Amino acid sequence: MNFTPSRKNVTLEKLIRPSYNHDLQLYREIPDISINLDEFEEWAIERLKVLQILEQLSLKGNTSNYEDFTKSVVHEIKKEGLKHMHKLINGGIYKDYNENCDVRKRDLCSHFILRLVYCKSDELRKWFINREIELFKLRWSLLSKSDKLKFLSLNNTNYSAVSEEEYQTMADSMGSLATTGNNNEYFKVRWTQVLDLVRNRKVYLRDGFAYVIQTDVFSGVCQTFRSELSQELVKCFQKFSIISEDERFGAFIKYLHQSYMGKNYSVTENMSTLSINTIDHSSKSFPLCMKRLHVILRSEHHLKHQARQQYGLFLKGAGLPLEQALVLWRSEFTKKMDADKFDKQYSYNIRHNYGKEGKKVNYTPYSCIKIIMGAVGLDECHGCPYKHTNSQALKQLLETSNISTQSIQEILNLSQNGHYQIACTKYFEAHNGVSPSCTAINHPNQFFEESQKLKGFNIESNINNSQVNESSVIDDIENIEFDQTMGDFVDKMDE
């Protein structure tokens, strides 16, 4: 995308220009290129989606057979339309040299952009490092031996191949080490570079060289990558306050980790999937967070503001028309107050959420990440039950859902370990008897729609089935103008 005359052209200035000579990188050089801000955002989002797929499939317990796990990841990446990463992890299926460079350029730039997004805290840094290591491992496993050797050479690791003849001459004297692989699995390096492997007797030594099986080669390279990335993220954080001040991309790098990048659950005027006559029956398909709010509304005849927002927008996204929403809330609230008070204090907000008051914005339902990141005070019932509810209360809530004791314990374990969306996915599986079509639940309305489909309900085609526009994935930030290049934030990192 070319810059328009009104935009400020900024190039990325760094001492070393990267060469796009391999699909796999240790990301030691910040790319010395110029990209526009549409690319800045699009590439970062694409990589984040890949990292989230890796996390979700890992937490679902699919890693015992790594070959099957790899196939699952590649399948999901392809299904999500992440074609550039799909090409990279499949050994670089390129039409020409320019496409080759473009895919590798996206890989480099997206990694460095996400360093900014995930440098802000120990928790975010840990998440990013673990996901990048998983991606690195996946990509390494799919490389041919020649590509692995090329990678080792380009990164000055001093590993070299073991020829068939060389392997045969020493196979008899290798003892048990020879049983762990064949000549195609061994690399050799000066023994002084792998002292830990020598100490643990995991290598064969001969003529000053250590013969190392490729899994141990990867282990060493991976440890180097982890250590270097950890150090660079800390350095990145030291510059973050300066970089984030730029109004053109500051908001993006501050909030991308909280953004929702899935289906858009805004609804049209004629949506009629849900009605006040079917809502009680349909609540069987609600996620736990919304089912709890529905029960409280029916029993207490009132919800506080944040709970009304969370539940009201969910119902809107599920297809409840404005007129029926007003009837629902009025019928419940007027059991504790007169209709005049309801009309004066509450009806405006309901119309506002449907885009009929104020700025007339068609507000979208809250995503899982927005609910999880929100604050929940004492005596409030909104939020994510897997995060904002203590274990005992969550257990009691789950026990009312008619799911097995084993499933309850699995959900509690996931919740306690901070895997809230995977816990919700596990609840979906336990409640419906099958897994959702997605890798993990990312939105309450996604849970409802998937569950309704399984129960044979007719989900209206009016729901916007397209992916949310990737230039507006951050729910809480409107009209961000990224008329800047990637180079601008690198300039500030170098100050």
* Binding annotation: 289, 368, 384, 424
Write out the two tokens for 223: 């440890």
Between CA 30 and CA 470 the distance in angstroms is 24
Nearest to residue 334, comparing CAs of 346, 324, 322, 323?
346
For the chain, the farthest-separated pair of C-alpha atoms sits apart, in whole angstroms, at 94
Task: Report the C-alpha gap between 481 and 6 in whole angstroms.
Answer: 12
Q: Is 188 helix (H, G, I), strand (E, B) or coil?
A: strand
Closest Cα to residue 90, out of 103, 109, 101, 105?
Answer: 103
Which residues have a Cβ under 8 Å from the Cβ of 210 and sit 6 or more positions away? 188, 189, 190, 191, 193, 194, 197, 198, 203, 204
- Please check whether residue 124 is in contact with residue 43, taking contact to mean a CB–CB distance below 8 angstroms: no
Three-state DSSP at 186 gives strand
Say how many C-beta atoms besides its own lie within 10 A of residue 218's C-beta.
16
Contacts of residue 392, Cβ cutoff 8 Å, sequence gap at least 6: none
Classify residue 389 as exposed, middle or buried by CB count within 10 Å of its CB (0-12, 13-18, 19+). Answer: buried
Annotated binding site for [4Fe-4S] cluster: 289, 368, 384, 424
Element housing 190 (H / E): strand 186-190
Helix (H) or strand (E) holding 160: strand 160-161
- Whole-angstrom Cα distance, residue 176 to residue 201? 11
